[in-house]
Amino acid sequence: MFRGEAWIAEDPEEAGARLRDALGVAATAVLGGAREAFNQWRAVVERSGVLVFQAERVEVAEVRAFSISERPLPAVVVNLKDAYTARSFSLLHELGHIALGDGGLCRLEEGDTGTAEERIEVFCNHVAGAALLPAASLLAEPESPTGLRQQVDDAAIEALAARYGASPEAVLRRLLILGRVPRAFYEQKRNEYLERYEKVGRKSKGGRPSRARLAVARGGWLFTRKVLEAYDDERITSSDVAQLLGERLKHLDRIRGELDRSTKNDGPRP
């Protein structure tokens, strides 16, 4: 059962650290590599008792992530079409909502409305950043500035992002919050990153995954395992399995094999 809790009035740095504790991830642990980091985050989140799904047929511009906070089995949905770094951040952001008991469809972009909803989004963004890039660990990195700097080299930002499986924007946001760069520099670089993303977009690498791998990637190992266990115990029918996993029954053996492989390798892929 997921034991993470948070309160909107508390320090989000403390909430982020407690979230890592609830997931059993040490403050000094660096998961590294965008794809590897997402798969490891997803694995530890599912082991903590949260279902993690990936939406396959929704554009990122429409939905990046949402959550259902009802316990004992809360759920997070991230977008399979999003970048791995964005999925990691979205996953932790939604865990912040679950910890608050405030799941639902939300937007990660911050505004200046000052509403209760806006304060929650700002809080969850901060919690996600604190969990993804713990302050003490990040500031101890050789590329991190030791004091307030008017700017930081792109190479240093990229190196930190790659090491933590985070986006350059997430790294810069943390450096801003931790008093290492001014807001003007953060806003300048953020606009550059947005322009770059709009021009390049997310390019997929390699061919389309197998149907079995995609089924486990969509449903996650926790949900997929529960469905297969229910089917093996004759608590649900073959039609139920096909509907829940989104695949025909003829792929079931391959899905079982993919589930075994993915759980041995710290989580479902891609």
3-state secondary structure of 146: coil
Residue 207 pLDDT: 57
Contacts of 157 (CB under 8 A, 6+ apart): 143, 168, 171, 172, 189
167/104: higher pLDDT: 167
230 and 156 within one domain: no
Q: How much is the pTM? A: 0.89
Structure token digits, residue 262 = 């993915």
226 and 199 within one domain: no
Dihedral angle over CA of 153, 158, 160, 165, nearest 10:
160
227 and 192 within one domain: no
Domain count, the chain: 2
Q: Which residues are paired to 53 by β-bridges?
A: 77
219 and 198 within one domain: no
Q: Is 94 a member of any domain?
A: yes
**Any idea what the Cα angle at residue 53 is, between residues 21 and 67, rounded to 5°?**
65
Decide which of 182, 203, 224 is a domain's last residue.
203
Decide which of 154, 170, 203 is a domain's last residue.
203
Decide which of 203, 228, 251 is a domain's last residue.
203
Q: Is 269 a member of any domain?
A: no
233 and 189 within one domain: no
Residue 247 clears pLDDT 60, i.e. is over it = yes
> In terms of Cα–Cα distance, which of 109, 162, 111 is closest to 133?
162
Q: Is 30 a member of any domain?
A: yes
99-158 pLDDT tens trace: 999 887 766 566 566 788 899 999 999 999 999 999 999 999 999 999 999 999 999 999
CA 43 from chain center: how many Å?
Answer: 11
Residue-range definition of the domain harbouring residue 128: 1-203
Q: Is 270 a member of any domain?
A: no
226 and 197 within one domain: no
233 and 126 within one domain: no
63-91 pLDDT tens trace: 999 999 998 899 999 999 999 999 999 99
84 and 161 within one domain: yes
CA 82 from chain center: how many Å?
Answer: 10
256 and 134 within one domain: no
